[in-house]
Structure 1
Amino acid sequence: MKPIKIGIVGVGKIVRDQHLPALAGNGDFELVCAASRNASIDGIANFATIESMLEGVADLDAVSLCMPPQYRYDAARKALEAGKHVFMEKPPGATVREVEDLIDLAEQKGVSLFASWHSRYAPAVEAAKEFLAATRIRSARIVWKEDVRRWHPNQDWIWQAGGLGVFDPGINALSIATHILSPMYVTKAALQFPANKDAPVAAEIDFRTAQGTPVKMELDWLQTGPQSWDIHADTDAGEMVLSSGGAKLAINGEAVHEQPEREYPALYERFAQIIRDDHSDVDLAPLQHVADAFMLGRRIAVEPFYD
C-alpha cells in the first residue's frame, strides 16, 4: 500500500530526537510537511501554523501533534475536522474532557486518533505484565525521580498551569502502571509546588485497586546523579522490579528481560496499524489519574525553583 503522508506540528527536541528517526525508519509513512513558529525540517514543506499546513498540502493523510499539551486540543480539532488521522504526543491533552471530545470527533469524521503513551512500548513492559497476571500482587510502589534541569532545561511551559510539572515524567510511569496493574484509583496525594511556579516539583500519591491492593507513587524532579524510573511489586511469586523506565525486568534480583529501547518506532508502527484497521487507540487512564491527584492533592508550598 502507498505510504501514509504525514505532517508534524511543533518541531522541538522530542521531534528531532525521537519522531524524525522513527519516521525515517518506517516505510508506512512519508513525512511531507511540518508546522512550527520557530523551527523547520530540511527537505520538506514548512509552515508557520497548522492552518496553513492543512491548506497548503492537499494530499496530507495524517498529522503528528508534538506541541505542549495546553495547545493540543485546538490543533487536534482542526486536523480531525479536515479529515486527517491524528497522533498525539503524551499527554494527549491538558484535560480529560477535551480528549473525550476529540474521541467523539474522530469517530464522527471516520478517522483514527492515537494517544501515544510511549513508555508502554518500553521493551520489558509486556514481560512484566505477563508476570503479574500469573500471580497475586500484595503491594506496588512506583518511584520516578529525575533531574528536570537535565531533561527540560529552560522550558517554561512545563511549569505553567496545564504543563503538569513533575507529572510530565510521572505520567509515563502511570502509563505503564495502568497497563500492567489492576485498575486503581487515587486515595490521597500531596503535591509540592515551588513558590514561583504553577505546577508541582514533587508528589506522593496513594492508590488502591478494586481488590484493595495498595500502590504508592513517589515523584521528584530534583534528583541528580543516577535517575530512578522504577516500578516495584511484591507478589506471591516474589519481588518484581521493572526499571530504567520499563527497559529492564528483574524477578527476585535476577535479570530476566532486557532489550534495546525502540519506543517511538513501535509507536509509529501502532499508528500505521490503527489507520489501516480504521479505528482509534486512546486510553485516558493515565491522564485521569493525574487529574484525580490534582483534585485530591494537598498543596504544599516549597522553595522557589530556578533553572
Structure 2
Amino acid sequence: MDPIRIAVVGVGKIARDQHLPAIAGNSAFSLAATVSPHDPGVEGVPHARSLEELIERGPAVDAVALCTPPQVRYDLAVQALRKGMHVFLEKPPGATLGEVGALSSRADKVGATLFAAWHSRFAAGVAPARAWLAERRIDSVSIVWREDVRVWHPGQAWIWEPGGLGVFDPGINALSIATHILPRQMFLQSATLEIPANRAAPIGADIQFRDTAGAPIHMDLDWRQTGPQSWDIIVETDAGTLKLSNGGAVLTLPSGVEHNEDLEYPGLYARFATLIRGGRSDVDVAPFRLVADAFLRGHRKIVEEFHD
C-alpha cells in the first residue's frame, strides 16, 4: 500500500518538535511538502509559501496537517477539503465551534477524513486511567494546570487574541484528558477568568464543573507559574485516588505507579492513518465546548498587564 502523501502547513515549533518526527517515524506517511510564508521548510522537501501555491503548483498530496494558529485554520481546511484532501487539525481544532461543525459536514460530503487531534489523550497514562475509572464511583476531581507562558509560548501574540484561547490553550489539553477518562459527561457550573488589562484572552482561570452524577470537578489554570510546572489531574474514587501527572505521562494508582511508553504524536499519526484507511473521521469537540462555555458563562476579572 502506497504511503499517504502529507503536507505540513505551518512550520513552527510544534511542527518541528512533534509533527515532522512523528511523520518520519510512521511508514504509513511520506512528507510530500511543507507550507509556510515565513519558514524555509525542510531541506530536500518541496516547500510552498501558501496552501494555494501548493495546490496550484504541486506536488500532489493526499493529506494536510494544519499546524497554524486556530484563527486561520478554517479557510485552509476548506481549501484542502475542496481538493478531497484529508485534514489533521492541531488542537484546538478551530477558532469557534461553528466552524469546526461546518468542516465536519464538508468532510462528510466529500468523503475525506477530518481529525480533531487531542495529543494529550495519547499520553502514556491516559488509556490505563480510563480503563481503571470505568468501574469506579467518582467522588471528586481536581485539575491543576499551571505553567510559565514565557517558557512555553514566548512572543506568540496570536495566543492572546480572540480565538487564541490564552491559558485555555494548555488548559484544553487537561480537558481533553478529563472528558476522555471520566465515565460520565461533565459540564460547567461557574468560572472566573483573569484577563490582563492589555490582552484579550485570560492568563488564569478558576472553574467549577460537575459530572451528571453530581461529582464536583475543580480546575485551576494559571500561566504565571515559575519554577516547577504543574499538569496534574487527581480523581478521588470509591477505590482510592488516581493521579495523572506530567500532562498524563505518569499514572499513579492505589497499587503504585504505572510505567508506559509515552508516544503522543506517534499515536496521533497512527490514529490518523487508521481513520484515512477506514474512510472515517474523528471530530470530538467535547473539550472545546467546555472552553466555549467558560467564555460564555465566566466572570471576567481584569488583572495587571502582561508583557513578554
TM bucket, shorter chain: over 0.9
Q: Does structure 1 residue 141 correspond to structure 2 residue 138?
A: no
SS of the counterpart of 1:70? helix
Calculate the TM-score normalised by the size of structure 2: 0.98
1:247-280 CA-to-partner distances (Å, cap 9, x unmatched) read 111123x533123321001100000000000000
Answer with 35-44 or 85-94: which moved more: 35-44
Between the aligned residues of both structures, percent identity stands at: 56
Deviation at 1:58, TM superposition (A): 5.2
Q: Give the match's secondary structure for 2:190.
A: strand
Paired residue total: 306
- The 5-angstrom pairing of residues 21-60 of structure 1 reads 21-39=21-39, 40-57=41-58, 59-60=60-61
Name the stretch that deviates more: 63-72 or 52-61: 52-61
Query: Do 2:6 and 2:65's aligned partners in 1 also have CA atoms closer than 8 Å?
Result: yes
CA RMSD of aligned residues (A): 0.9
Contact 1:159 1:199 in 2 (8 A): yes
CA–CA distance in 1 between the matches of 2:227 and 2:267? 29
Within 2, Cα distance between the matches of 1:184 and 1:134?
A: 17
Matches within 5 A, 1:1-307: 1-39=1-39, 40-57=41-58, 59-181=60-182, 182-252=184-254, 255-307=256-308
Structure 1 unaligned spans of 5+:
none
Determine if contact 2:66/2:89 at 8 Å carries over to the other structure.
Answer: yes
The letter of the residue matching 1:191 is L
What is the distance in 1 between the residues matched to 2:258 and 2:55?
43
CA distance in 2, matches of 1:58, 1:110: 22
> Post-superposition shift, 1:54?
1.6
In the TM superposition, what is the alpha-carbon distance from 1:44 to its structure 2 partner? Answer: 1.0
How far apart in 2 are the matches of 1:278 and 1:59? 20
Where structure 2 has 5 or more consecutive residues not aligned to the other structure, the ranges are none
Output the TM-score relative to the length of structure 1: 0.98
2-side partners of 1:95 and 1:48: how far apart?
26
In 1: Cα distance, 2:57 partner to 2:267 partner:
29
Note if contact 1:248-1:255 (Cα within 8 Å) is conserved in structure 2. Answer: no
| More displaced 10-residue stretch of structure 1: 209-218 or 274-283 | 209-218
User: 1:202 & 1:142 partners in 2: Cα distance?
Assistant: 13
Deviant stretches of 4+, over 3 Å: none
Query: Residue type matched to 2:247 in 1?
Result: G
CA contact (8 A) 2:46 2:59 kept: no
Q: Give the Cα–Cα distance (whole angstroms) in 2 for the partners of residues 123 and 43 of structure 1.
A: 33
Partner Cα distance (2:57, 2:66) in 1: 17
Tell me how far apart the structure 2 counterparts of residues 243 and 92 of structure 1 sit (CA, whole Å): 24
- 1:177 CA displacement: 0.3
| 1:163 partner letter | G
